[in-house]
């Protein structure tokens, strides 16, 4: 069974494969994959993660990828979150019992799914819940990276599918 272009590109962008890209269109864009993998490492496992562990970040990344219809990235990030105390956060319908996590998840969902609706009050809500400004920035970096990764995957997949048509 052949992989879809979206699956192939998603696996490449997430660094889930190591050999040469299977499509000429991807070979010519190898630098995109290298830089994307570097950015992925920086936001998912930074040297200073602040309040957010790798497991937490992976669960949120899974949630965002799922909400944005990329099951391949969701699967990759879901594996990283599996078995962790944060694994349940990956489900788009899961509401955590922890009040701070509730606010963080609501914020991340809103940023990922309704970015235009973000307002100063959303940041204030996180601050009032005790989330440090640096940790809010880290959350936004994670969300921005996922938005980029999901859109690049969709764009490259469209390019490949167009070339194969």
Give per-residue pLDDT as tens, 92-104. 999 999 999 999 9
What pLDDT does 71 receive? 95
**DSSP three-state, residue 145:** helix
DSSP structure string for 41-66: HHHHS-S--TT--HHHHHHHHHHHHH
* pTM across the whole model: 0.89
Q: Token pair of 23, please?
A: 């499509």
Average confidence score pLDDT of the chain: 89
Contacts of 76 (CB under 8 A, 6+ apart): 10, 11, 14, 16
Rg (CA), the chain: 16
Top-confidence residue, 1 or 33: 33
What pLDDT does 1 receive? 32
The structural domains of the chain, with segments of one domain joined by +, span 5-17+25-164
Contact status, residue 128 vs residue 105, Cβ threshold 8 Å: no
Give per-residue pLDDT as tens, 108-154. 999 999 999 999 999 999 999 999 999 999 999 999 999 999 999 99
CA distance 140 to 147: 10
pLDDT band at 159 (very low <50, low <70, confident <90, very high): confident
Nearest residue to 149 (alpha-carbon basis) of 45, 73, 67: 73
In the CATH hierarchy, which top-level class contains the domain 5-17+25-164? mainly alpha
pLDDT above 90 coverage of the chain, percent? 69
What pLDDT does 110 receive? 97
Give per-residue pLDDT as tens, 20-39. 556 666 667 777 778 888 99
């Amino acid at each position: 069974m052949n992989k879809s272009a979206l699956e192939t590109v998603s696996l490449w962008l997430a660094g889930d494969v190591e050999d040469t890209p299977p499509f000429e269109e991807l070979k010519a864009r190898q630098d995109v994959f290298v830089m994307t993998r570097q950015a992925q490492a920086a936001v998912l496992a930074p040297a200073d993660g602040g309040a957010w562990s790798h497991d937490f970040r992976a669960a949120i990344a899974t949630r965002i990828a799922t909400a944005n219809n990329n099951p391949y990235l969701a699967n990759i990030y879901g594996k990283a979150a599996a078995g962790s105390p944060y694994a349940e956060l990956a489900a788009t319908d899961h509401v955590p019992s922890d009040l701070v996590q509730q606010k963080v998840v609501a914020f991340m969902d809103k940023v990922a799914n309704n970015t235009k609706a973000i307002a100063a009050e959303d940041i204030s809500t996180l601050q009032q819940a005790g989330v440090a400004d640096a940790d809010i920035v880290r959350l936004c970096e994670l969300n921005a990276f996922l938005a980029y990764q999901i859109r690049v995957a969709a764009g490259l997949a469209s390019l490949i599918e167009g070339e194969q048509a």
